[in-house]
Structure 1
Amino acid sequence: MATAHRLIARAARLWWAVRRPRTLGVRALVLDGADRVALVKHTYLPNWYLPGGGVKRRERFATALARELREEIALTGFQIERILGIYRNGSEHKDDHVAIFVVRTVTPIADIRAADSFEIEAAQWFALDALPPDISPASRRRIEEWQRGETGLGDW
Structure 2
Amino acid sequence: MLEEKIENILKQDVESLGCFIWGIEISGSSSSKHIVIYIDKQDCLISLEDCQKVNIQTREVLDNYAELNFDFSLEISSPGIDRKFFKINQLKDFLGETVKISCFLDGKKCKLKGELKDVSEKEIFILSEGKNYEIMNRDYLSSNLIGVNNE
Q: TM-score interval w.r.t. the shorter chain?
A: under 0.3
Query: Which entry has the higher C-alpha Rg, 1 or 2?
Result: 2
Normalising by structure 2, report the TM-score.
0.25
Q: Which has the higher contact order (CA 8 A, sep 6+)?
A: 1
Normalising by structure 1, report the TM-score.
0.25
More strand by share: 2
